[in-house]
Structure 1
Amino acid sequence: MGIEDDEPLDKLFPALIECFGVIICGYAAGRIGVITPQQSKGLATFVGTFSLPSLIFMSLATLDLSSVCWYFLLSILVSKAIVFTSVLLITLLVTRPVDPGKAGLYAIFCTQSNDFAIGFPIILSAYGKSHPEFVSYLYLLAPVSLVMLNPIGFVLMEIGKMKSRGGGTSYQLLKSTVTNIATNPVVFMTALGIAGNFIFRHNVPTALAGLLNVFGSAFTASALFLLGLHMVGKVQTLQGTALIVPGILITVKELMLPVVVREVTSLILHASSVNSSASTDMSNYGFLYGTLPAAPGVFVYATSYALDVDLIASAMVACTFLSAPLMFVSAKMVSVSNLSPTDFFPTLEKFDFDLSIAGLVACLWLLALFIGLGKFKKFPQRITLFLIISQMVGCIGILVGYIGVPNIGYIKYSLVTFGNFSSSLWAACLAVTMVLIESRNFAFLKKIQPAFIGLSWGIPLLFVARV
């Protein structure tokens, strides 16, 4: 597989910049008060009532269902069911007292992706030309969670709600669950779009198609901007021990789910009649799909049932922004694993270059914060500052190699080796420092600081000098 075959995933980086740039603009507009909460409600009504339903209907009504790989949809269902069940059972086992509502909510969070606001523009940019059917798959994948898995979570949340109120009837439980499913616009428009596909034979009349396309074309920017608006007021909750449970949920959603999706998809497609090339493409697509962040609808569920509202808000915000680098890194890992030996090293060097730029920007930002706020004066933070400096040296070493100056290879090797080696040592020293804080006083820590400097910077420097 050559570099030209990797073109879809090469488009992921600019697509991520576009998507998260619009999200940040929406957050900034809401933060400084350019758009009020009342105005954002109007935008939410437009997106949810007109733009998204139009987009779903047109995509499904014009889709050639005979070309759909139903084994792939089965793979996504099995993958999500595995993760959903695992989160559900583990939450029920570790939560005391047992809370079925939390178990259902956490399971939904880990399996329901933001398929449309973030997934649609990213998949469209990455696969719009090479595999246009992958974009349409999003509208078939969304009901996998909404119709088949989420009802289990709704039942558990209703049971938890009734338990806190002192009980309820089975009729109320059934009525609430059916209502939640039937009133969901995604579920309704999915059914209507498939019906329209048979009625119009995936050829929607020109007048109707023109009207719906106008509404649908406004979805991408509006949805991303609205997502940024919804994050206002939720970023402040991202601190301290309140991040422990969200961190676990995000790990499951962003790391465990993509791996499970890729492996299950690969197994099922290889066992079916799908050819090897299509199986690989769909496995990679499934992996990228799994890295999409959790849907904002989970926060709506948490608010409706009064379950860990602040926790889910923190998890949703963190998951959204962490998904960007994870999607980029994951996509590159997938593409590199499929390259031929001759294309492997050039692609790896390009990837290393991109990461070094991002790492250098992050290091400079952290240095400005540490120095500007005076954080480096405290001992534990000072160790972190030294770690940041070492990381920055390593990033500079990678970038120096692209200058094109004669005999630059030794300088690049020295900076990269020193930066990587010292970063590992400083990370170990930081761990030792955190342990000693609990058993020793700060006077003792200041005494051993020169030893840390000699170990973490002296040894790498001697190693590089000898080479």
Structure 2
Amino acid sequence: MVLKTCSMRLLKATRKAQVEPLVFEILLPMSLLMGTGYASVKLGLLTAEQIKGLGGYVIKIALPALILHSLASKNLHEIWLPPYLLAYAGGSLILYALAYWIYKRHFHHVLTQTAVLSMGAAMSNTGLIGSAILPLVLPNHAVIYLSLTLMIENLLMIPMVLLLAESGLQAQHHPSRMLYQALKNLLKNPLVISIILAMLAVIFELRLPEILDNVLNVLGKTAPSLALLVIGGSLVGMKLRALDTQTITLVLLKVVLMPSVIFGLFFLLPYASTEMQHAATLIAALPMPIIFGILGQIYGLEQRAVAALMLSTLLGFMGISVLVACWW
């Protein structure tokens, strides 16, 4: 009995010793890089415009390079994951519909404002924050999950939001024309282009020239660290204004309910792996995307959108820190 008790204690101590360094190795670099970005702007080493430029580089150059380099070398069966697509797309649509009902029925917003606010509950900052965090916890498959999520967000969620928002402003505008214009703009997005090219390479079993692949590899490696630097620098000057019941409700829908719903949906799908479930839940727990703040400014919701974006960033990082500590 004594020997059994000692063995159990030794096993628990061993597991704790294995987990703590992993959490330390993941969360500490994240915090230091974000802190460096914040301090760089706060001390005047970098300006807000330079941080914005670095963010543009990550989204338009480094992340597309990372996606193209990583996916183009895969086989179709490695990246075609229907359970992931169904669970994440389904969870996103469920959250969007729920938020739409709440803000239309209970808070009495017009169609355009409801469409944009609902986006905050159903989309994550996958391109910037996701590309910084997921490779740290899932180095072998992170790009696959990021690419599938970006496909859902860029080809399903954003066109739907824009279509509804514009429909509220211009009822006479033909919906199919607005959707066509939205899709046309999305097809110019480097992220979408890189995903399409990578998928074509996988389907037709094409391989990138070695020189091009090496260049993409070098560019792609800069994405995670620079993304964290940009996130930290972007926090300077953000303030929690318009913090009311509506804003808090929206943030809780995003950082609490969305990951919970997506986590639960995986139990309903066959052939869904634990890794898929954890990756999708972690991405769903990320803060709201920057584009939510941009659309909020365009459609007259600037203060509420910025406040929700800021609060979701604070709570989101707390949530993903808990998930990383529990699962990795």
TM-score (norm 1): 0.61
Give a deviation string over 1:262-295, Cα, whole Å, max 9, x none: 1111111xxx2x2xxx633433333223212222
Answer yes or no: is the 8 Å Cα contact 1:115–1:292 preserved in 2.
Answer: yes
Do residues 156 (structure 1) and 164 (structure 2) align? Answer: yes
RMSD: 2.8
Aligned pairs for 1:229-268 within 5 A: 229-234=233-238, 236=239, 238-239=240-241, 242-268=243-269
Answer yes or no: is the 8 Å Cα contact 1:105–1:157 preserved in 2.
Answer: yes
Answer yes or no: is the 8 Å Cα contact 1:15–1:121 preserved in 2.
Answer: no
SS at match of 1:242: coil
Q: Residues 47 and 329 from structure 1, CA distance in 2 versus in 1: closer, same or farther, beyond 3 angstroms?
A: closer
SS at match of 2:273: helix
Answer yes or no: is the 8 Å Cα contact 2:133–2:224 preserved in 1.
Answer: no
Deviation at 1:10, TM superposition (A): 7.2
Give a deviation string over 1:115-164, Cα, whole Å, max 9, x none: 23222332222222xxx22442211121112211222111111123336x
- Which residue identity is paired with 1:161? L
- Which residue identity is paired with 2:273? S
Q: What is the match of residue 50 of structure 1?
A: 61
Deviation at 1:12, TM superposition (A): 4.4
Q: What is the match of residue 213 of structure 1?
A: 217
Answer yes or no: is the 8 Å Cα contact 1:103–1:153 preserved in 2.
Answer: no
Q: How far apart, CA to CA, are the structure 2 residues paired with 1:288 and 1:187?
A: 22
Q: How far apart, CA to CA, are the structure 1 residues paired with 2:77 and 2:222?
A: 29
Answer yes or no: is the 8 Å Cα contact 2:112–2:168 preserved in 1.
Answer: yes
- 5+ long unaligned stretches in structure 2: 1-10
Q: How far apart, CA to CA, are the structure 2 residues paired with 1:292 and 1:38?
A: 24
SS at match of 1:196: helix
Give a deviation string over 1:169-224, Cα, whole Å, max 9, x none: 556533542344223332222112211223554x4321111111111111112222
Q: How far apart, CA to CA, are the structure 2 residues paired with 1:28 and 1:161?
A: 41
Larger-gyration structure (1/2): 1
Answer yes or no: is the 8 Å Cα contact 1:12–1:126 preserved in 2.
Answer: no
Aligned pairs for 1:20-59 within 5 A: 20-59=31-70
Q: Residues 208 and 200 from structure 1, CA distance in 2 versus in 1: closer, same or farther, beyond 3 angstroms?
A: farther
- Which residue identity is paired with 1:297? I
Answer yes or no: is the 8 Å Cα contact 2:131–2:223 preserved in 1.
Answer: no
Q: Residues 85 and 152 from structure 1, CA distance in 2 versus in 1: closer, same or farther, beyond 3 angstroms?
A: same
Q: How far apart, CA to CA, are the structure 2 residues paired with 1:302 and 1:9?
A: 40
Answer yes or no: is the 8 Å Cα contact 1:9–1:331 preserved in 2.
Answer: no
SS at match of 2:124: coil
Q: How far apart, CA to CA, are the structure 2 residues paired with 1:121 and 1:5?
A: 26
- Which residue identity is paired with 1:251? L
Aligned pair partner of 1:90 in 81, 102, 110: 102
Do residues 280 (structure 1) and 274 (structure 2) align? Answer: yes
Identity %: 23
Q: How far apart, CA to CA, are the structure 2 residues paired with 1:9 and 1:92?
A: 45
Q: What is the match of residue 188 of structure 1?
A: 193
Q: How far apart, CA to CA, are the structure 1 residues paired with 2:121 and 2:257?
A: 9
Q: Which has the higher contact order (CA 8 A, sep 6+)?
A: 2
- Which residue identity is paired with 2:153? S
Answer yes or no: is the 8 Å Cα contact 1:15–1:125 preserved in 2.
Answer: yes
Q: What is the match of residue 312 of structure 1?
A: 305
Q: How far apart, CA to CA, are the structure 1 residues paired with 2:284 and 2:177?
A: 34
Do residues 299 (structure 1) and 293 (structure 2) align? Answer: yes
